């Protein structure tokens, strides 16, 4: 179902639950994947994903359609991730490195698909990037989003995003090619 149709059904009280159900099924994997890449742990990603869709439920009525529905949802998910990581940092008074180390440890302990260690190394390289740069990389590399869409999500200019992505790729390849 197209986003426009979903929104119309959502605005109608009788079909709201049905429309919302369809919306969740349409975007849940992308939202979950986006969050999971940032927070690594499944349980954390699960909680945040649910929080995102609850916020969507609460605020969809007021959605003005200035942006695409998908980028709006992604923006909520991005903010949830950043808030989560900031809270983690504040709670334990950890410097940035320790939060990334914690995520790296979780990465090590989680089961890897196909035993692909080069992929694990890639994920470790991503954890070394600043959070916003990591977001840009994930959305461009994994989600194949256009720079204009990423710009809507992050509120950053297309030029800045291109520079950020280019630098991220350089850093990652350097890391992948070191022992």
Partner 1 sequence: MEKDPHNKKISLENLKKKNIHQVPEGYFDKLPYSIQEKIQGKKRSWTIDWKNGTGRYAIPGLAILILAFFIYLALPSGKQEIAVKPIKEVTKDSITSNAEDIQEKEPVITQDNDMTAIQQKPIAVDSNMKKQDIPVVIDKFDSPESYLADITNDDIKEYLDLNEMDDVQVEELLID
Structure tokens at 126: 């991503």
Q: How far is the CB of 130 from partner 1 (least distance, A)?
A: 18
Cα 12 to Cα 29: distance, rounded to the nearest angstrom: 26
- Measured from the CB atom, is 39 or 153 closer to partner 1? 39
Shortest Å distance, C-beta 93 to partner 1: 28
Structure tokens at 145: 């989003």
DSSP codes, 32-77: HHHHHHHH--HHHHHHHHHHHHHHHHHHGGG---SS-HHHHHHHHH
Q: Which is nearer to partner 1, 1 or 157 (CB)?
A: 1
| Nearest approach, Cβ of residue 37 and partner 1 (Å) | 7
Interaction site with partner 1 (CB under 8 A) = 17, 20-21, 24-25, 28-29, 32-33, 36-37, 40, 42, 46, 49-50, 53-54, 57, 110-114, 116, 118-120, 122-123, 141-142, 169, 172-173, 176-177
């Amino acid at each position: 179902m197209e986003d426009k149709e979903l929104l119309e059904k959502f605005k109608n009280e009788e079909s709201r639950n049905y429309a919302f159900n369809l919306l969740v099924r349409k975007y849940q994997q992308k939202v979950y994947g986006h969050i999971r890449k940032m927070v690594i742990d499944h349980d954390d990603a699960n909680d945040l994903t649910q929080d995102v869709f609850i916020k969507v439920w609460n605020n969809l009525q007021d959605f003005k359609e200035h942006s695409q529905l998908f980028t709006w949802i992604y923006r909520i998910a991005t903010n949830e991730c950043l808030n989560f990581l900031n809270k983690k940092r504040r709670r334990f008074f950890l410097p940035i490195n320790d939060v990334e180390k914690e995520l790296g440890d979780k990465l090590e302990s989680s089961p890897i698909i196909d035993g692909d260690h080069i992929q694990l190394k890639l994920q470790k390289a991503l954890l070394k990037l600043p959070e916003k740069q990591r977001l840009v990389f994930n959305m461009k590399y994994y989600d194949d989003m256009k720079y204009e869409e990423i710009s809507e999500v992050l509120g950053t200019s297309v030029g800045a995003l291109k520079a950020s992505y280019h630098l991220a790729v350089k850093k990652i390849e350097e890391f992948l090619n070191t022992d």
